Amino acid sequence: MNKKANIINGLSTAAIAVFFTQVLHEAVHYISALIAGAEIRAFNLFAVDIKLFNEPGYLLHDIAIESSASIANIIVGIIALTIFRIFKKSSSVSKQFFLQTAGYSFLMGFGYFLFDGLFYNPEVPGDWKSVIRMLDGSIFLRISLIIIGTCGMLFTFFWLAKNILVFVKNRNDRKERFDAAFPVLLLPYIVFGLLYLFFSIWHPLGFPQGILIVFFQFIFGFSGLLWAFFLSVFWLSPNLKDKRYIRLDEKISISWLVPALILLVFQAAVLLPTIFFN
């Protein structure tokens, strides 16, 4: 096993998966506001500055703008999960990309449900926090979000832990399980958690609010990758009846590495400074 190639490939696919998950989330806010006819002031890596209508006749417009992004993340997660399951002949690098995309998408989408419902504060910005505030602090909505979010997060933990073993030939061998889960789950969680936490210094909401939001999302919200790592390597008994196996690529995939580097530069150079609209 070429550990260097596995690490670079795992970080490359994760870089694209994280970018896609984060930017899609903000892009859906942008598109929803555009369709609703709301005023869009700026687009940042972490937020879109939208002037909501805040009028009774436009309540559904405002709800759609705020709620659509996390729902879109969940839909993308379902699509990525389906592709991961159906295309059994795809390369290991493509396979790990769809596994990571499903994981990040589900954790972001269901994470918004869970944490906005659980830590609702009418004075604090947030997608579903705003929706709850628009509906006068609806307890029913909060409980529903907490239940759905919790179930979705737990599903993601165990789904990742189970399906990372696709890259393990001898599932009784803990070292093999570690060698597969470390570059695909644990290392991307650490690297991109720290990177985006650094990026959050330039969050449009400033210090400390912007940094705290990114911390909850990338360190706490995406910790499902951490838990999936421990579940797959140490805690869960592997399913020996599942015969799926794809060997992790022994070579560095330039076709994934180059786009990953380009997208990282694009985020830092274009989206992080913020695109303003006149």
* 43 token code pair: 């687009």
Mean pLDDT, the chain, integer = 94
Instruction: Give percent of the chain above pLDDT 70.
Output: 98
CA separation (Å) from 145 to 71, 156, 222, 227, 269?
Answer: 12, 16, 18, 22, 35
What is residue 163's predicted lDDT score, i.e. its pLDDT?
Answer: 95
First to last CA, the chain: 53
162: Cβ–Cβ under 8 A, 6 or more apart, which residues? 232, 236, 239, 242
Say how far apart CA 162 and CA 167 lie, in whole Å.
Answer: 11
Instruction: Say if residue 215's pLDDT is above 70.
Output: yes
| pLDDT tens track for 80-135 | 999 999 987 678 899 999 999 999 999 999 999 999 999 999 888 889 999 999 99
Instruction: Say if residue 1's pLDDT is above 70.
Output: no
| Nearest to 19, CA basis, from 232, 252, 195 | 195
Instruction: Say if residue 53's pLDDT is above 90.
Output: yes
| Average pLDDT of the segment spanning 190-206 | 95
Model confidence band, residue 243 (pLDDT cutoffs 50, 70, 90): confident
| pLDDT tens track for 34-46 | 999 999 999 999 9
Instruction: Say if residue 218's pLDDT is above 90.
Output: yes
Say how far apart CA 56 and CA 80 lie, in whole Å.
Answer: 37
| pLDDT tens track for 141-179 | 999 999 999 999 999 999 999 999 999 999 989 999 999
What is residue 57's predicted lDDT score, i.e. its pLDDT?
Answer: 87
Say how far apart CA 105 and CA 109 lie, in whole Å.
Answer: 6
Instruction: Say if residue 50's pLDDT is above 70.
Output: yes
Say how far apart CA 254 and CA 9 lie, in whole Å.
Answer: 9
User: Bigger pLDDT: 119 or 278?
Assistant: 119
Query: Would you mind telling me the total number of residues written for the chain in this entry?
Result: 278
CA separation (Å) from 212 to 53, 203, 215, 218, 220?
Answer: 27, 10, 5, 10, 10
Reduce the DSSP state of residue 43 to 3 states and report it: strand
- Kindly list the domain boundaries of the chain, sorted by start residue: 3-29+55-268
